[in-house]
Structure 1
């Protein structure tokens, strides 16, 4: 019996100790990550949880340490006592850790409540707020248009329903727009004589071999081998893309364990030269967008990802982090990253 009592006391102490240790670790991590959802749970009414998992762990522990004959009367009695102590210890640890957390992180809890109120107010009242953006170092349309000629076949691959293509002042008579959403692009482009098409059912470009003189990829995924196939020898491929650092502050907050790539003009040039393209020219722009209010950030987020504003509760930690940085620095900044590579298909077959 003495052995049994020692085991019960040790089990209760370990359970209580681990609860407080993990509470301290979680609280400090939440503070570091601006995780206000963690602190806001202390503003809710306490409720006992996870009793079934505790019962399972208690049974498992008892089966491992018991010295009694399995399934004997004493074995069952001690098992019931072990489970009871486990549940009581867990309940006490949850109550104790809840009130300890309320005391230990009192300042963080109060700050989280204020931040939540301010975020909800900004959600209700945000509109077309102003933001400050650095001027891009190059103009895509002006550069690409230098390669247009009357007798050349042009294909523009994009995902914006023809918006990018429609902004050219002049286009070759034979111009194709390859769109994922061709119906939207037709409404915008067909009255301008532009032939709107889409990818084949196999995801290939809808052109015969060596059909196109100039292929432009605008902010879209592309198959470099397909681009090589459809271009005539001496034809040009223009890749106008977003780099891996674009909006990195936002991406890192929503996906904190994201594997970072290095997608930039150098990486793009390497992939193209490896299959037989010669690099003609390249450009890269790394800029900043600055916001002076959370309302401005919300207006921007609504333009690029409306669901993250409509379901803001899921992303409240991100907005709390933004708000804290605005209060500290009087602004919040994100990075913009864009590059362009112009390559020529080799004429040496």
Structure 2
């Protein structure tokens, strides 16, 4: 039982845990996640079944799009042309290892640069927790093409920052549903669906907190277990006494059609 482990053991275990691609399976059974009102995976699966040319932006290690492709019914139509882009170089070979056997062309992108894609190359663009310039999005989607995006909002998990006495997270002020909708409309998209949610997410031990903040470095900028040793120990004591530490995930979803 992890609750019997000391603070030092939990933290050491978390720091030694491997993190590859965008795989958070280490946190299984150590966090409690409340489902958001929509299922990105179900929505993406439905759109893929109607698409002929698919782009997955900021694919990470390819975990999400691989999972969505695996959800498709055995005899469902799938796009003949599937591309995934990833800007962080260490993730590119991981994504290729996972996605190329599925027939996906993995292309390395670069932050702030045009997408490595042709004009009107795609009928569907998926984007889960990634970035996509509306100008580039409009360029690579054909008229009538669909954009499906789930994003992390700027008020995400701020309870962690408060508990640790750290600086605010590095989410842009523009990371809101209203801004996303306005930007897409300004670039010639019609909004088909727009939703926002704040859902509870609970850390069951301090090791889960440390693993999460080490991976998601922008949540508490400058985080390390030495600098934040005292508040981490205080949070550890709080979890042991009161139970899991609850934060609010800020998520929003937009489905838009290119005019």
Check whether TM > 0.5: yes
CA distance in 1, matches of 2:120, 2:169: 42
What are the equivalent positions in structure 2 for 1:40-189 lying under 5 Å apart? 119-120=7-8, 122-124=10-12, 130-149=30-49, 152-168=52-68, 169=70, 170=72, 171-180=78-87, 181=89, 182-189=92-99
Per-residue displacement from partner, 1:100-132 (whole Å, max 9, x unpaired)? xxxxxxxxxxxxxxxxxx744643576966332
Question: Is 1:244 the equivalent of 2:144?
Answer: no
CA distance in 1, matches of 2:148, 2:232: 37
- Bigger-Rg structure (1/2): 1
Question: Is 1:192 the equivalent of 2:105?
Answer: no
The count of corresponding residues between Structure 1 and Structure 2 is 228
Q: CA deviation at 1:208?
A: 2.1
- Give the SS at the match of 2:155: coil
CA gap of 1:208–1:298, structure 2 versus 1, over 3 A, is closer
- Give the SS at the match of 1:238: strand
- Give the SS at the match of 1:237: strand
CA distance in 2, matches of 1:203, 1:259: 20
Q: Which moved more, 1:254-263 or 1:335-344?
A: 254-263
Between Structure 1 and Structure 2, the one with more strand by share is 2
Tell me the TM-score normalised to structure 2 length.
0.74
- Give the SS at the match of 1:282: strand
- Give the SS at the match of 2:47: coil
Q: CA deviation at 1:285?
A: 2.8
Structure 1 counterpart of 2:140? 230
Decide whether the 8 Å contact of 1:119 with 1:319 is kept in 2: no
Structure 2 counterpart of 1:9? none
User: Of 189, 202, 205, which residue of structure 2 is paired with 1:290?
Assistant: 202
* Residue segments in structure 2 that go unaligned for 5+ positions in a row: 1-5, 18-26, 73-77
Tell me the TM-score normalised to structure 1 length.
0.57
CA gap of 1:246–1:256, structure 2 versus 1, over 3 A, is closer
Between Structure 1 and Structure 2, the one with more helix by share is 1
CA distance in 1, matches of 2:112, 2:201: 39
What are the equivalent positions in structure 2 for 1:296-335 lying under 5 Å apart? 296-301=208-213, 304=216, 311-323=224-236, 325-326=238-239, 329-335=242-248
What are the equivalent positions in structure 2 for 1:17-56 lying under 5 Å apart? none
Question: Is 1:267 the equivalent of 2:179?
Answer: yes
* Residue segments in structure 1 that go unaligned for 5+ positions in a row: 1-117
Structure 2 counterpart of 1:341? 254
Q: CA deviation at 1:343?
A: 0.5
Decide whether the 8 Å contact of 2:59 with 2:95 is kept in 1: no
Decide whether the 8 Å contact of 2:57 with 2:127 is kept in 1: yes
Q: CA deviation at 1:224?
A: 0.9
Q: CA deviation at 1:153?
A: 1.0
Per-residue displacement from partner, 1:266-309 (whole Å, max 9, x unpaired)? 2211111112111011233321122344344345445545x99x
